[in-house]
Amino acid sequence: MSKYDVIVLGSGPGGYVTAIRASQLGFKTAVVEKESLGGVCLNWGCIPTKALLKSAQVFEYLKHAEDYGLSVKEADKDFDAVVKRSRGVAEGMSNGVKFLMKKNKIDVIEGFGKIKPGKKVDVDGKEYSADHIVIATGARSRELPSLPQDGKKVIGYREAMVLPKQPKKMIVVGSGAIGVEFAYFYNAMGTDVTIVEYLPNIVPVEDLDVSKQLEKSFKKSGINIMTSAEVTSVDTSGKGVKATVKTSKGEEVLEADIILSAVGIKTNIEGIGLEDVGIAVDRDKILVNDFYQTNIPGYYAIGDVTPGQALAHVASAEGILCVEKIAGQHVEALDYGNIPGCTYCAPEIASVGLTEKQAKEQGLDIKVGKFPFSASGKASASGAKDGFVKVIFDAKYGEWLGCHMIGAGVTDMIAEAVLGRKLETTGHEVLKAVHPHPTMSEAVMEAVAAAYGEVIHL
C-alpha cells in the first residue's frame, strides 16, 4: 500500500490547487482523478466556455464593423471550428495542470476514488493511505424531474459546449451564470434563443438594477425572456422538442431543436464512501468547520461539495487554507461575504458584497452611487456603452458594503472592490485614489463620487 501525507480526491480548481500547495508545504502528495486533470472547470466549464464566448464576441465585432468605420464583407462563422478552438484551449489548460503536477512532484492516480475508514482511499481496487484526505469531487449539472436530460434534445452545459450542429432554436431553462452565458453565445451565433426563468428576474442573485439592465440588453439582442415561468413537461417524441411552460397568464407550448437545462448543480458525493466513513452530510453538502475538517478526523472537504459558494476561485482558496491549517500555519477563515461573482455574457456582470435590497433588509443606513457607462469616455470610444457601476456604502462609517457592475470587461474590474473591502477602505479613500483616464475602471471612482454627491461627469 502506497502511503502519503495528503491525498486529494478530484483535480478541479479546488483539488489540483490543494495538491500543489500541499506539496509546496513539504507534504508527500497524490491526487486522484477519474477523467481529465483540471476537472469540470478547465475541461467543461470556466475555461472552454470563455473560449466560446470570445468567438461570439469577435463575431459580433465583425457584424458591427461599420460602427467602427470598417468594412467587412460576408462575415460568417464556422460553428465546428468555434467548438474545436474551445476544445483546444481546454486541452492546453489540462496539459498545463499535468506539467504542474510533475513540477511539484505530485503523484497522479488515475481512476475512481472511494474513501475508506482508517484514512484510506480505494482507486479501482488498489488501496492508498494518507494522514490527510481532502475530498474535492465537485459537482455536475442538476436534473429536474420535469426536465430529464437525454443528452440529445434536453442537454446540460457539457453537451452545450460540443454540439455537432448549431440549433436553429434553443430554449434555455434557468438564468444563472451558465444559462445566460450560453444564451448569449448561441444568440450571437445566430440561434433563436428563449430564456425561461422561474423567478421574477433573470440572474436572480444579482442586484435588481443589474438584472433589469441585462434583460434590457438581451432583449435588444433579440433574446426572448420569460420570467416567473416554469417548464412543467417536455415532449421529445417529434423531430425537435416541445416544452410546456406555466406562466401567470396560463400555459404555453414552446418548440425548439434543443433545450438546455441550466437549473443549478448537483454535488458529486454519491459512491465515494462517505457513508462507510461516517462523514456528516446535510442537503447534498458535506459539513465542515472553518478550516474544512469534516466530523471525522483526517478527512476534509472543499469546493462545490461544501456549503460555500460553488465557484472555482472559492474552491482554490478553500483548498489552500485547508492544507495551510494542516501544516500548522496561522490562517484566517475565509470571508464568504467578500467573494466576487462573475458572469461572462455580454454585457458582463461582476459583483461582491451586499445588494441594495440586502443592505436595506439589514436595516442599514446606506449611500448608493451609480455611474452609467454611457457617460464614460472609454466606453463610448469602445462602442460598449451598455451598463453601469453601482456602489453601496454605510452612511455612518463609510464601509464599502457592496459593488455591482454590468458592462464590457467588468469581470476584470471587480477585484478593486474585493481588495478595497478586504483592506476595510472607506468611500472617501476610494474617491481620493486617482483612477486613470480614460478607462472603464474610473467608473468605480465616479460611482463612489455619485454616492457622496460629488460626481463630475454625470
Amino acid at 100: L
Distances (CA, A) of 43 to 96, 180, 316: 12, 20, 16
Active site residue 404: no
Closest CA to 428 of 458, 383, 386, 394: 394
Q: Which grid cell is 425? A: 477602505
d(Cα 410, Cα 415) in Å, to the nearest integer? Answer: 9
Query: Is 163 within 8 Å of 260 (Cβ atoms)?
Result: no
Would you call 439 helix, strand, or coil by DSSP? coil
Q: Which grid cell is 22? A: 500541499
**Element (H or E) spanning 343, and its range?**
strand 341-343
Would you give the end-to-end CA distance of the chain in angstroms?
69
Query: Is 113 within 8 Å of 128 (Cβ atoms)?
Result: no
DSSP character at residue 31: E
d(Cα 103, Cα 172) in Å, to the nearest integer? Answer: 42
Query: Is 107 within 8 Å of 130 (Cβ atoms)?
Result: no
**Beta-sheet strands, E only, within 111-191:** 113-116, 120-123, 126-135, 139-141, 154-155, 169-173
Amino acid at 328: G
- In DSSP terms, 258 is beta-bridged to 170
Q: Which of 64, 428, 437, 457 is catalytic?
A: 437
Residue 238, number of CB atoms within 10 A of its CB: 9
d(Cα 301, Cα 315) in Å, to the nearest integer? Answer: 10
For the annotated catalytic residues, the residue numbers are 437
